[in-house]
Amino acid sequence: MKQGSWSSAWRKPVVVAASVCLWLLVFASPIKAWHHHDEITIGVLAFRGMDEAVRMWSPTAEYLESQLPGVQFRILPLTNDTIEEAVASGEADFVITNSGSYVALNQRHGITRIATLISQRPTGTSTRFGAVIISRADRDDIREIADLRGKRFAAIHPDGFGGWWMGWKELRDHGIEPLQDMQLEFTGFPVDLVMEAVRSGQVDAGTFRTELLEQWINEGRIRADEFHVLNARTTPGFPFLHSTRLYPEWPLAVQPDMDEDLAKRVLQALFALPQGHPALDAAEIAGWTIPLNYDPVHDLMRELKVGLYQPDEVITLREVLTVYGPWFAGILGILLTGFLAFVMRLNRSLTASRVSLANTLRSIGDAVVTTDTQGLIQYMNPVAERMGHCSLPDVQGHDYRQVFHLVDESSRKELGNLARHSASMREPRPYTFDGLLLGRDGQEYSVKITTSTIRAGLSRVSGCVLVIHDVTELRTLARQLKFQAAHDPLTGLVNRREFETRLSRAVDGSQKSGQTHVLIFLDLDWFKAINDTLGHAAGDQVLREVADMLERQVRSTDTAARIGGDEFGILLLNCELEAGIAVAEKLRDAIAGYSYVSGGETYRVGVSQGLVLIDRQSGNLGAILKAADEACYTAKEHGRNRYHVYSSDPS
């Protein structure tokens, strides 16, 4: 099977690297500048078809337009065959695509992930996904993966990540080489075509990404007993049927030359999307989170030798001469005639080119370092000298890792000798890495490193260029926005949305594992008198001090949240009802002992609490929240400043 080829496109870090290479080789290359567009295009991999992609993501574009006045957003549906060109040409400013596609585009064109989507289905949410391998349930001859040898098998596309590569790896792990042992068919988008091919008997089995089976069952398109999932797995915290390992969900990525302020505003708007917003419902997601680690995607592609790890085809000189020999003979005379004129023009431009490129490197805002093939420093621009707290004469000839301490962003392991890695690769193209720079001043900086080889002639590698781009501010903003989206700005406690998300996970865990938890719903008593008498500033201070008390009374594994107004919630994980009652009594005593003094007057508050035990019989999230509210109301009705334990028995 022939995998899809990827075209090349130069972007800012790559142009820097290329300029250094050509400077050392006495050639010049212009730097491509980014031009502002009034209309911002969001490219989306249309795995369910073009029209469906526009329907799903247009509300997101409309939401962004409402949050960023004066900027228009357009959804551009793309396929596996068109997405690379859209990124390479700059037609797509932002890209929402699958993990495998992102990794290849990141390496080849320098796009950077700024967020990862949270998938949403009736059975739950997740930031990871996998693939299912299905056959018809009435096929008694296909009950496990080994039974697929010699069978007809459908997938989405040769370059599909969830639509082929995940399933391919699982088949290989079970001793089946699909290209030799099966009859492969690729249906293309939409994904439904694979399911219909299996249902109709056109193929014996097929594969596609997770969550879709549950969605089709929920929509009534298929019956729950219509298909059999082969190699069905169980992964804690993942609510969907799957046959394969799990990988990080689709990222939102941005072009390297995108205006940084615009990218921040887009990211801030997406993190602020409220739960239940039409944009989330249309896209069938629960929201966006900080970008995950996509190294497992690299590992899968490297093992299968696909995408950016696909080996080059070897073409011999004899084959070239056989096909193009007559053309070479005719062109050779023309080349020889122009060669002397070319050399003369080249010599005249050498001095001007060297001066121009040297000035360019001094004015570039990124750190640029050139090394030999072993990583020994040959040149640094002024930005690199400032970033490394050194001067070029002091470190020339030293290993660049002695100056720039670069580690992996997730594992904090040394990134290794990137210059030697780049020089050892067969394909002469840039490679991009995300990491942390541990500065000599004790600070840590989030950076994107782009490496490219310096070649003497067509093949011999003489050195390497490293371009280090500081993305600390963007990454810090992403973490800050994530925190703000999940916490109450007044008290610093978890907000209602994040609290219900954690409560939902606890309920799901209780249903599956039988663990017991306790939910406490708290409503302050006599708080309104303080607020009305002393004003909102005093009321806000009381709420902050009560919040501090709540956090001190619970464990680090528990969650205290402000639900709204003077209402709070506490989730006690792995807790029996008796222990939950003890916590409620501590909370009541702590708040009863609190007083607020103003103008010589002392004001006190109490707290009414509703307790609910969460176990396998508790019901769903909505039922538990309703029970907690009813229990709190009962506590108030019976005199306030007390707790009441909810019971489903009316007696």
Q: What integer pLDDT is reported at residue 560 of this predicted model? A: 95
Task: Please write down the long-range contacts of 214-219, taking CB distance under 8 Å and 24 or more positions apart.
Answer: 214/121, 214/122, 214/123, 214/240, 214/241, 215/121, 215/122, 215/284, 218/121, 218/122
Name beta bridge partners: 572: 518
Least confident of 87-96, 330-339, 350-359: 350-359
Tens of pLDDT, residue by residue over 162-193, are: 999 999 999 999 999 998 999 999 999 899 99
- What is the mean pLDDT of the segment spanning 511-526? 93
Q: What integer pLDDT is reported at residue 350 of this predicted model? A: 61
SS3 235: coil
Are residues 514 and 462 part of one domain? no
Q: What integer pLDDT is reported at residue 458 of this predicted model? A: 62
Name beta bridge partners: 113: 253
* DSSP, res 162: I
Whether the per-residue pLDDT at 25 is higher than 70: the answer is no
- What is the mean pLDDT of the segment spanning 388-396? 89
Are residues 117 and 160 part of one domain? no
In contact, 580 and 520? CB cutoff 8 Å: yes
Pairing of strands 183-186, 152-155: parallel
**Is residue 419 one of the residues assigned to a domain?**
yes
* DSSP, res 343: H
Geometric angle at alpha carbon 260, from 413 and 30, rounded to 5°: 90
In contact, 121 and 281? CB cutoff 8 Å: no
Count of the separate structural domains present in the chain: 4
Instruction: State what percent of residues in the chain have pLDDT above 70.
Output: 88
C-alpha 605/C-alpha 596 separation (Å) is: 9
**Is residue 29 one of the residues assigned to a domain?**
no
Are residues 641 and 503 part of one domain? yes
Question: The domain spanning residue 157 has which CATH number?
Answer: 3.40.190.10
Are residues 169 and 110 part of one domain? no
Least confident of 71-85, 197-211, 462-476, 607-621: 462-476
Q: What integer pLDDT is reported at residue 503 of this predicted model? A: 94
Whether the per-residue pLDDT at 311 is higher than 80: the answer is no
**DSSP alpha helix (H) spans, 554-620:** 577-592
Tens of pLDDT, residue by residue over 34-47, are: 344 479 999 999 98
Are residues 591 and 542 part of one domain? yes
Are residues 544 and 616 part of one domain? yes
pLDDT mean across residues, the chain: 86
How far out from the chain centre does Cα 387 lie? Answer: 28
Least confident of 51-55, 59-63, 482-486, 516-520: 482-486
Q: Which residue has the higher pLDDT, 457 or 551?
A: 551
- What is the mean pLDDT of the segment spanning 638-646? 92
Q: What integer pLDDT is reported at residue 537 of this predicted model? A: 92
Are residues 571 and 494 part of one domain? yes
Name beta bridge partners: 267: none
**Is residue 12 one of the residues assigned to a domain?**
no
Are residues 139 and 69 part of one domain? no
Residue in 166, 98, 99 with CA at minimum distance from that of residue 304: 166
**Is residue 467 one of the residues assigned to a domain?**
yes
Among residues 476, 511, 538, the one where a domain terminates is 476
Query: Which range marks the domain in which residue 215 is found?
Result: 130-243
**Is residue 317 one of the residues assigned to a domain?**
no
Q: What integer pLDDT is reported at residue 600 of this predicted model? A: 86
**Is residue 650 one of the residues assigned to a domain?**
no
Q: What integer pLDDT is reported at residue 425 of this predicted model? A: 75
Q: What integer pLDDT is reported at residue 349 of this predicted model? A: 65
Whether the per-residue pLDDT at 9 is higher than 80: the answer is no
Q: What integer pLDDT is reported at residue 24 of this predicted model? A: 38
* Residue 417 confidence class, pLDDT cut points 50, 70, 90: confident
Tens of pLDDT, residue by residue over 47-100, are: 889 999 999 999 999 999 999 999 999 999 999 999 999 999 999 999 999 998
* DSSP, res 147: G
* Residue 454 confidence class, pLDDT cut points 50, 70, 90: confident
Are residues 289 and 148 part of one domain? no
